[in-house]
């Protein structure tokens, strides 16, 4: 895709099929055309036609023919991981986390960067510094950088490349995608960070084998993403924090919007640390808050267990309403699950029908790199589909 072209606002059916073929070979390859057709549900003729431009552009390569299999020998296809590289960045208040990833989304280098200027121009400067550092650490990517993916907490219009509202940065209607593209001269994609995390979990994480799964994140806020029938659910309201308003405890604390006992007022890191700090008469950070709870401090234990029961109720609501095959819990505050495991189970039991199937719940490490890998994968997908459509 040339720098002058606009990104398509909605994928065509051909782009969707290209994406399905590329994703299948990427995540399950090497694969023959026959197996690719079987896994994608496309006809063999369609797969053969779709594969041709990917081969001609060097995104796919053919291996030696399979031997010892019945019928005509098949030629396995796989993605050439060194064909291109992408930068994936998660923007947080005062800090960026970034990775350089190849086409297999294998991390070549990673970097954390603190910055002070929260203005759009300040963040663009930080993204530029981050990108240059990652290129210095992965010099093989300099001439093969296809683009940058950026994930950001808040209300993001990915099709327009615009941050509609990011409260933690104090932004409204910022054309961040174009600003970064103009500064660095590369293609840029922008999306809500929970959606980028869902991409990473869908392609390379614990959501890989599931057609329907949900992602719940704990940290500065409470995030929610959903994959249905192998497709991430994008919505105009994604990123405005709807799940944070979900009621969990009618006697719980108030959130800034005036809701009592909602997810935001009970499950965020700041909600937990503020409640414990107030109760014990001194400031604590999130790590110490959980350590105090584990050590049996009565104030910390009460706050953390209340949060755990609230988390259990939230997970039960998602399981009851969306009926995902798996729920993936992530984010910087994911350690709450282990510290309050018994309370989480109590909350689940309270709102989950005992006849329902057991909840398949897994937790990610919460180290931040998965967010970045997802942002890089979005950049990879956008570029590949733009080149071969």
Residue 49: CATH number of its domain: 1.10.10.10
Question: Does residue 291 lie within any of the structural domains?
Answer: yes
Using the predicted structure, report yes or no on whether residue 5 has a pLDDT greater than 50.
no
- Does 6 reside within a domain? no
pLDDT on residue 226: 92
Residue 380, domain member (yes or no): yes
Q: Which domain holds residue 287?
A: 208-363
Task: Please say whether the beta carbons of 174 and 162 come within 8 A.
Answer: yes
Q: Is the peptide bond before 177 cis (omega within 30 degrees of 0)?
A: no
Within 13 A of 187's CA, how many CA atoms are on the CB side? Answer: 28
Q: Is residue 2 part of a domain?
A: no
pLDDT at 1: 39
- On whether both 190 and 67 belong to a single domain, the answer is no
Looking at the domain assignment, is residue 376 inside a domain? yes
Q: 192 and 101, same structural domain?
A: yes
Residue 234 has pLDDT above 90, yes or no: no
**In angstroms, rounded to a whole number, what is the distance separating the alpha carbons of residues 162 and 225?**
19
Is the same domain home to 134 and 166? yes
> Is the pLDDT at 73 greater than 70, yes or no?
no
Under 8 Å CB-to-CB from 118, ≥6 apart: which residues? Answer: 93, 94, 169, 170
Is 356's pLDDT higher than 90? yes
- Mean pLDDT in the chain? 89
| CATH number of the domain to which 246 belongs | 3.30.420.40
Please state the φ and ψ torsions of residue 231, each to the nearest 5 degrees: -130, 135
Number of domains in the chain: 3
* Residue 223 shares a structural domain with residue 355: yes
Same domain, 220 and 335: yes
* Beta pairing, strands 107-114 & 95-102: antiparallel
**212 and 353 share one domain:** yes
Reported as a single tens digit per residue, the pLDDT across 35-50 is: 999 998 999 999 999 9
Tokens standing for 203? Answer: 């392609």
Measured distance CA(108)–CA(314) in Å, rounded: 36
| Model confidence pLDDT, tens digit, residues 175-216 | 999 999 999 999 999 999 998 898 888 888 899 889 999 999
Q: Kindly tell me if the per-residue pLDDT of 6 is higher than 50.
A: no
* pLDDT tens, residue by residue, 290-349: 999 999 999 999 999 999 999 999 999 999 999 999 999 999 999 999 999 999 999 999
194 and 75 in a common domain: no
Residue 3 falls inside a structural domain? no
Asked whether residue 5 is assigned to any structural domain, the reply reads no
Q: Are residues 305 and 213 in the same domain?
A: yes
State the Cα–Cα distance between residues 332 and 321, nearest whole angstrom.
25
Q: Reduce the DSSP state of residue 300 to 3 states and report it.
A: helix
């Amino acid at each position: 895709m040339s720098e002058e072209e606009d990104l398509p606002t909605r994928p065509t059916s051909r782009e969707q099929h290209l994406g399905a073929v590329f994703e299948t070979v990427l995540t399950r390859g090497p694969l023959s055309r026959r197996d690719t057709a079987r896994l994608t549900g496309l006809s063999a003729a369609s797969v053969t036609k779709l594969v041709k431009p990917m081969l001609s552009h060097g995104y796919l390569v053919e291996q030696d023919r399979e031997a010892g299999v019945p019928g005509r020998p098949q030629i396995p296809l796989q993605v050439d991981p060194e064909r291109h590289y992408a930068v994936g960045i998660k923007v947080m208040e005062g800090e960026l986390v970034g990775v350089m990833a190849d086409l297999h989304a294998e991390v070549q280098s990673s970097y954390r960067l603190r910055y002070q200027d929260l203005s759009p121009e300040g963040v663009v400067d930080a993204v530029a510094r981050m990108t240059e550092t990652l290129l210095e650490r992965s010099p093989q990517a300099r001439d093969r950088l296809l683009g940058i993916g950026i994930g950001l907490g808040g209300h993001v219009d990915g099709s327009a490349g615009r941050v509609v509202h990011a409260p933690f940065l104090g932004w409204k209607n910022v054309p961040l995608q174009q600003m970064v593209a103009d500064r660095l001269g590369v293609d840029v994609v922008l999306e809500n960070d929970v959606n980028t995390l869902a991409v990473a979990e869908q392609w390379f994480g614990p959501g890989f084998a599931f057609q329907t799964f949900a992602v719940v994140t704990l940290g500065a806020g409470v995030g929610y993403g959903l994959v249905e029938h192998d497709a991430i659910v994008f919505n105009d309201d994604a990123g405005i924090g709807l799940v944070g308003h979900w009621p969990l405890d009618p006697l719980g604390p108030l959130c800034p919007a005036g809701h009592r006992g909602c997810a935001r007022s009970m499950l965020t890191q700041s909600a937990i640390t503020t409640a414990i700090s107030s109760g014990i008469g001194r400031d604590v950070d999130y790590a110490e808050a959980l350590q105090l709870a584990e050590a049996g401090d009565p104030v910390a234990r009460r706050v953390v267990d209340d949060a755990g029961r609230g988390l259990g109720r939230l997970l039960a609501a998602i399981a009851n309403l969306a009926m995902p095959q798996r729920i993936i819990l992530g984010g910087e505050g994911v350690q709450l699950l282990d510290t309050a495991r018994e309370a989480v189970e109590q909350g689940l039991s309270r709102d989950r029908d005992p006849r329902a199937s057991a909840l398949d719940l897994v937790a990610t490490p919460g180290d931040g790199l998965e967010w970045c890998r997802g942002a890089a994968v979005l950049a990879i997908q956008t570029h590949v589909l733009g080149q071969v459509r």
